[in-house]
Structure 1
């Protein structure tokens, strides 16, 4: 199948162009594609016709499936999405509040692993458990939060392996950029410059991944920004934990991991998600231009996350957990606002897609 966007020759059965991510129209413009692997598997798991799976976009619906029993098949249905064969077309996407649940299971698995490593270190005194303790402890909560964002990605066009790739490569890239910026500003380090440096580093990493226009939705930017924030936060926590260990203090090691984990969802992860969503919002279906970064739709949100970061590191906030908790709540209010904007965008694109297909 020849892609009309980039002229790349794809296999006949693909749903998206393997090169640029352009979405091909369904075989039947008025009904779901009967050969759609995603559609067939969704029917099998949910047991409902597609038109009956939509719910009103209310906040209380988001966590309605967390405490239900879920089978391995349901988890498998989540993990297969995002490839060129299993990404749903717009007419198959349910553009309402998704109902994530897998993130809670990931957290429980990570918690059990951390407790096992903790027992190995504290009870048996085996230092071989320490590297695993630092790694699992640093990634557990940020990665759990990332799985929540991944489940909230209604287009379901980003595979889990790609997310892991973005966490590792995007996290390292943003950290290296931050080190370079810090070296340039080494004589002028304060909470404001820290906020600018670290948030700008994450934005540059997001640009690297959204630049090819394969991931163009607001919810895509939210997910990719969160993934880079996870890498940044987890690697940073691991570094601080190692420093605490080198000071010969196991107490400080545990304190560093636990305290930073508690606040990680409202720090780098949320700020990266907000900036990533704002970037994809201003980019839309167009090729990213440098002047887009100064448009209010992006620039105001970037200034906001820089302000949050600066306040977070300021002495009158960092010394009082209640201040960080307030910033954390405020950040997530904006995150949910971005999710709602992303779902509205999907609704609009679905209407346009249906009109064009006809």
Structure 2
């Protein structure tokens, strides 16, 4: 294992943040629409790239090189986004279980992208899987966020830089707790199951990890809807249920709006805590795997090899 003590990730983050803020300011001042793609790219890629570098700097073996990291971010991210778009378009339809399908599809395409990127690795450690999986997930998040930012730019009132910036800030804050985290868990489990084998292996623990992160993903995406349902169940008025029976979504009161926000935030916190605890357990396991084996007690020397008695 190579432990890197440099903090390149901090330099990347602060430099990128300054460039993004400067671009937003100049765009607002000059109304130059040619700068809009720069805002989209900087705002969408800043946090994912920063955390991919952070994961790399926190220790991998020599097998994970910078070119491989770049390939995992770009190729893995693009393949994941394209695969998810195709499958979700043709397989999913609006329903109560739609987000379960989204979780299963997106985590599956990221896993396939990770396998494609890592197919030529000769040696695989659990920690390498954590880093490479996180990189694929962050790549997916970056390209997905750029699409959301672009969609937020176009409103019924015309171009809205404010809406685009707000979208980028929100997604940037949540990025470390989403795709990168879930795929890191999946990558670590996959590499641990494949250690000592010539090919990556889909074993029982890998399948369970896939189903687990897919469930976390589904709960994350559906949390706002679950918060609304819980709020109506706890505080719903009769007229609101009557509107629901007739197929209309009732407007929430101010009190209910605050409760929805609170429940939504609480749900995101719980999901993130579960995922981070899971990741921490894998990281602790990787530290044990990296530690040198203990020297058997019978192999301790009782005298230095240069002592006169051994000459």
- Shorter-normalised TM-score: what interval? 0.7 to 0.9
Say yes or no: does 1:323 pair with 2:267: yes
Counterparts of 1:37-116 in structure 2, within 5 Å, are 93=2, 101-116=7-22
Aligned pair in 2 of structure 1 residues 350, 282: CA closer, same or farther (>3 Å)? farther
Superposition RMSD on alpha carbons, in Å? 2.4
Cα 1:350–1:310 change in 2 (3 A) is farther
Give the aligned partner of residue 51 of structure 1.
Answer: none
Residue aligning to 1:20: none
Matches within 5 A, 1:132-211: 132-187=38-93, 190-211=98-119
Alignment partners' CA distance in 2, 1:307 and 1:169: 25
In 1: Cα distance, 2:36 partner to 2:137 partner: 24
Conservation of the 8 A alpha-carbon contact between 2:129 and 2:189: yes
Deviation at 1:251, TM superposition (A): 2.0
Alignment partner for residue 284 of structure 1, among 160, 183, 195?
A: 195
**Does residue 225 in structure 1 map to residue 133 in structure 2?**
yes
Deviation at 1:266, TM superposition (A): 0.5
Please report how far the alpha carbon of residue 349 of structure 1 lies from its aligned counterpart in structure 2 after TM superposition.
Answer: 7.8
Q: Which moved more, 1:107-116 or 1:244-253?
A: 244-253
2:33 equivalent to 1:124: no
What's the CA shift for 1:332? 2.2
1:210/1:216 contact within 8 Å kept: no
**Residue equivalent to 1:346:** 290
Listed one character per residue, the Cα deviations across residues 56-111 of structure 1 (whole Å, up to 9, x for unaligned) are xxxxxxxxxxxxxxxxxxxxxxxxxxxxxxxxxx6xx56xxx65633222211111
Which string of whole-angstrom CA distances, capped at 9 and with x for unpartnered residues, describes residues 168-201 of structure 1?
A: 1111111122123223413366111000000000
Correspondence for 2:235: none
Number of aligned residue pairs: give it: 255
> What is the aligned partner in structure 1 of residue 173 from structure 2?
262
Supply the distance in 2 between the matched residues of 1:213 and 1:269 (Cα, whole angstroms): 21
SS in 1 for 2:30: coil
Structure 2, gaps ≥5 residues long: 229-260, 296-311
| 1:212 counterpart (99, 114, 120) | 120
* Length-normalised TM-score, structure 2: 0.75
Q: Hey, what's the Cα distance between the residues in 1 that align with 2:72 and 2:203? A: 25
Paired with 2:122 and 2:89, the residues of 1 have a C-alpha distance of 33
Distance 1:154 1:169 in 2: 20
State how far apart, in whole Å, the 2-side matches of 1:350 and 1:130 are.
58
TM-score by length of 1: 0.66
Name the CA shift for 1:245/1:165 in 2 (closer, same or farther; >3 Å). Answer: same
What secondary structure is seen at the aligned counterpart in 2 of 1:238? Answer: helix
Please give the alpha-carbon distance, in whole angstroms, between the structure 1 residues aligned to 2:92 and 2:292.
46
For residues 199 and 114 of structure 1, the distance between their equivalents in structure 2, rounded to whole angstroms, comes to: 30
Change (3 A) 1:127 1:331: same
Q: Which of structures 1 and 2 has the bigger CA Rg?
A: 2
